[in-house]
Structure 1
Amino acid sequence: MTVYRIALIGFGGVNRALAELIAAKNQLWERDLGFRLNIVAVSDLYFGSVISPNGLDAKTLVEANFAKGGFGQLSGGSSEADNETIIKNAPADIIVEATFTNPKDGEPAVSHCRWALQTGKHVVTTNKGPVAFAAQELKALAKANGVGFEYEGSVMSGTPVIRMAEKTLAAAEVNGFEGILNGTSNFVLGRMEGGLDFASAVKEAQQLGYAEADPTADVEGFDVRLKVVILANELLGANLKPEDVTCKGISNLSPADIEAAAKAHSRWKLIGSAVRSDDGRVACSVSPKQLSLDHPLAGVNGATNAVSLNTELLGSVTITGPGAGRIETAYALLSDIVAIHNAHSSVTAKEAA
């Protein structure tokens, strides 16, 4: 049985949810998956940082009501975050990166991943920034150092669109996609169909926890643009940066636009799309589109995400599932750890043979 020592970078909703799962399901994973997880370090801007080579009790981490700088009360702890020291020096096998996404350059998360890979540690992340801005560099670092770099949760939270497309549709010849890749904007459009104006719909989304205090990244399409870059590069062999993708959000849609669409038996959706032409070039965009009601994405409501993959052999294949949520996103991290475990086990078995 394998024990993976993990360091959590960021202890907000997602990594806290992963700690909850570890506290509740480690024995189940040991039985069904062949490994268990041991948290040996945590670093967080609010709580500080702590290293414990023998492991930290996951249940205590989750249930203790730490104040600001509260990790300083723990043995081996400090009231200050120290991401670089934790990543480089903690006795961890896997760095779990779940800090905020910077839509301008992906930092500091890009550096977090780079430090980990350079020091021979696996990386799993839900952060869109490192994947959208530096995936090629980070993949090369991972390969050079014999470790894994996994990021399933960077596009649709726990819904496995990347791994699904690469593993199960490998021979179907994916040549494009279009998707609803932001639950906040989708919720806002749904509430506008229900009669609210844009500002009121955004306010309701904030009250329900779907939208941040500053909803710009969601409603102006910047979040979707990062996800489009990730999918285009990963599935279509593109080499795009976020600035290569045209981007328009939903803030200019009026109640009149929504009403006109309904009369035309259609509805507005914020769509991220990409298509690969015969010469290999990939064109991408993010913009509101008026979809007929029989379109496979037209019925995707609320905070749900969906992507329709256009394939040569199967036609359109649509994957629908949760695009957000603490536990759902923590599951994506777990699925990445499973992928690393399976790859490591396969290599070990080959070496033994």
Structure 2
Amino acid sequence: MGVYALLWKIGIVGFGNVGQGLAHILNRKKEALQQRYDFEFLVTFIADPVRGSLFNEDGLDLDAVLKEMAQKGSLKDRPEFTAEGTLQLIERAKANIVAEATITNLESGEPGLSHMRKALSVGSHVVTSNKGPIALALEELESVAKENGVCLRYEGVVLSGTPCINMVLECMSGCDVKSVAGIVNGTTNYILSKMEEGYDYLEALMEAQKMGYAESDPTSDVEGWDSAVKATIMAKLFFGANIKVTDIARQGITKVTKEKVIEAKKEGERIKLIAEVRKEGNEILASVSPKFIPVSHALGNVMGPTNALTVATDHLGEVTVIGPGAGRIETGQALLSDILAIHRTCLCSVH
């Protein structure tokens, strides 16, 4: 399965916002993808124990599937419905590419970790937006991928649809990275932006929940855990350092007051929750904390649920990328970019 496939068979695991986002893109751009990239595909299975799992070796009708989801919120009435468990379906389908888009579990990485292990072990390439397994078991997963001659790609685990991982690892090949620092959690940036408008912390949090940026339990975001997980991933990928989430110096935004935010603005600064990984001598240090950022700096003007990352290198100085850090289509785009990267790699291998 690791070699070039003329017609790619794709499986989607998890059919919530991100899985549906990828399906919408694939459905809408099928002809354009074929014309621009010589990329032809069938989505042969969707695995979601809550919404319903589907399998058709000849390809699912994505337009009909998405309409049914919009109307019913379930796929269990579809003729392709199967009661098979996700792991069994991954093994039976043996798709060329599996897109793993289940919710993140920062404690164990499950169920995404088991899904990825299974897909890689049966010879499927894997693309994912699920940061739990990447933070907790990247070396193991890359080992399984190598053993089976397939690729594991995960562009969406730090800034969702905004490219940063492939930008650093591929577009900045040959550079030494000195530090990475940025706004990697859109929820907290939205809250801090609202506080600058005069909201107090709790009012801003409630507004974020109303807008769908914050969960009913916002702990992972506001206490800095989500940012810390992303810092561990960046430490591993960009610096080769194994830093546990629990070892990162971490402070969230719960103690930031409206008064502090407004006072900072008067001084020409903004308070931002910054995840940073930097090299000091032979040591790699990682932290998450609110910091005063000058409005003259690129990160100081990033408002709302937007993410941004500044990468300091030897050859290029500072490079900052700014863009959306969440959203079904935006994160679906990250999965698509990884899928097309695998397609290009396999095309090159046969020419």
Which TM-score band applies after superposition, normalised by the shorter structure? over 0.9
Which one scores higher on RCO, CA 8 angstroms, separation ≥ 6? 2
Return the alpha-carbon distance in structure 1 between the equivalents of residues 67 and 231 of structure 2: 37
1:295 pairs, out of 277, 294, 297, with 297
Kindly indicate whether the alpha-carbon contact (under 8 Å) linking 2:279 and 2:285 is maintained by their aligned counterparts in 1: yes
Q: Residues 81 and 155 from structure 1, CA distance in 2 versus in 1: closer, same or farther, beyond 3 angstroms?
A: farther
CA–CA separation in structure 1 for the residues paired with 2:266 and 2:76: 60
The yes-or-no answer on 1:71 pairing with 2:75 is yes
Pick one of 45, 49, 70 that aligns with 1:45.
49
1:121 aligns with 124
Distance 2:350 2:54 in 1: 32
Q: Offset at 1:105?
A: 2.1
Residue 196 of structure 2 is matched in structure 1 by 193
For the pair 1:330 / 2:339, whether they are aligned, the reply is no
Deviation at 1:45, TM superposition (A): 3.1
| Contact 1:6–1:94 (CA under 8 A) maintained in structure 2 | yes
Which amino acid letter does the alignment assign opposite residue 327 of structure 1? Answer: I
User: Structure 1 CA distance, aligned partners of 2:24 and 2:316?
Assistant: 39
Query: CA contact under 8 A between 1:133 and 1:242: conserved in structure 2?
Result: no
Rounded to whole Å, the distance in 1 between the matches of 2:224 and 2:238 is 21
Deviation at 1:263, TM superposition (A): 2.9
| The one of 18, 24, 28 aligned to 1:20 | 24
How far 1:262 moved relative to its partner? Answer: 2.3
Query: CA, structure 1 residues 105+265, in 2 after alignment: closer, same or farther (shift >3 Å)?
Result: same
Q: Bigger shift: 85-94 or 201-210? A: 85-94
Q: What residue is the counterpart of 2:157 in the other structure?
A: 154
Tell me the equivalent position of 1:314. 316
CA shift, 1:172, in A, is 2.4
Structure 1 segment 259-298 matched on structure 2, within 5 A:
259-279=262-282, 281-298=283-300
Give distance in 2, aligned partners of 1:172 and 1:218.
31
Q: Which amino acid aligns with 2:317?
A: G
Q: In the TM superposition, what is the alpha-carbon distance from 1:67 to its structure 2 partner?
A: 4.1
State the shift of 1:297 in Å: 0.8
Are 2:231 and 1:207 aligned? no
Aligned length: 346
The structure 1 segments of at least 4 consecutive aligned residues displaced by more than 6 Å after TM superposition are none
Other-structure match for 2:166: 163
Counterpart for residue 39 of structure 2: 35
Q: 1:313, 1:221 → 2: CA distance?
A: 31
What do the CA deviations read for 1:137-180 (whole angstroms, capped 9, x no partner)?
A: 11111111100100001111111101111122112211211010
Match status 1:232 vs 2:208: no
Q: Is the 8 A contact 2:159 2:325 kept in 1?
A: yes
Secondary structure at 1:320's aligned position in 2? strand
8 A Cα contact 2:195 2:261, kept in partner? yes
Q: How far apart are the structure 2 equivalents of 1:191 and 1:57?
A: 42
1:14-42: per-residue Cα shift (whole Å, max 9, x none)? 11121112221111111111112211111
SS at structure 1 position matched to 2:181: strand
Partner of 1:258: 261
Q: Does 1:96 find its partner at 2:99?
A: yes
Letter of the structure 2 residue corresponding to residue 10 of structure 1: G
CA drift of 1:73 comes to 2.4
Query: 2:84 and 2:224 mapped to 1: Cα distance?
Result: 31
C-alpha contact (below 8 Å) 1:7/1:86 kept by paired residues: no
CA-based RMSD? 1.5
Post-superposition CA distance 1:26-78 (Å, at most 9, x none): 1111111111221111111321212111111010110114646x433233423
Partner of 1:178: 181
- The partner residue of 2:223 within 220, 223, 230 is 220
| Alignment partners' CA distance in 2, 1:6 and 1:266 | 47
Structure 1's 81 and 275: CA in aligned 2 closer, same or farther, altered over 3 A? farther
| Separation in structure 1 between the aligned mates of residue 75 and residue 330 of structure 2, nearest angstrom | 26
- CA 45–190 in structure 1, closer or farther in 2 if over 3 Å, else same: same
Write the distance in 1 (CA, Å) between the matches of 2:72 and 2:163.
35
Paired letter, 1:130: P
Q: Which amino acid aligns with 2:314?
A: E
> What is the alpha-carbon distance in structure 1 between the residues aligned to residue 199 and residue 314 of structure 2?
41
**Counterparts of 2:249 and 2:84, CA distance in 1:** 37
Note if contact 2:94-2:119 (Cα within 8 Å) is conserved in structure 1. no
State yes or no: 1:245 paired with 2:251: no
The gaps in structure 1 that reach 5 residues or longer are: none
Aligned 8 A contact 1:41 1:52 in 2: yes
